């Protein structure tokens, strides 16, 4: 019985295409923090996201502003 287990271990190690599974950790993305002023507050709040998340937030914010027509209307002077 022990001989069979030892032979199986040797065969597993000897086969070049089969390698033990290695833990692959995802790359850690850099956090970028920004200071924002929440509506109704005078205190700034620090908000941190990855660069990809900030790109999504910025795109959504500009899309919302375009939908409201703020970007396409000229500034009104009084």
Checking if the pLDDT of 66 tops 90, the result is: no
Mean pLDDT of 58-64: 87
How do residues 8-59 score in pLDDT, each as one tens digit? 565 555 555 555 567 777 778 899 999 999 999 999 999 999 999 999 999 9
More confident residue, 61 or 49: 49
pLDDT value at 65 more than 80 = no
Q: Are 47 and 33 in contact (CB under 8 A)?
A: yes
Q: For the chain, which residues make up each domain, given as ranges?
A: 29-66
Which of the two residues, 75 and 71, has the higher pLDDT score?
75
For position 52, what pLDDT does the model report?
94
């Amino acid at each position: 019985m022990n001989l069979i287990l030892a032979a199986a271990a040797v065969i597993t190690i000897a086969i070049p295409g089969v390698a033990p599974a290695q833990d692959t950790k995802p790359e850690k993305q850099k956090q970028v923090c920004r200071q924002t002023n929440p509506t109704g507050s005078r205190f700034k709040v620090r908000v941190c996201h990855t660069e990809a998340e900030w790109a999504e937030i910025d795109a959504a914010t500009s899309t919302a502003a375009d939908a409201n027509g703020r970007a396409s209307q000229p500034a009104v002077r009084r």
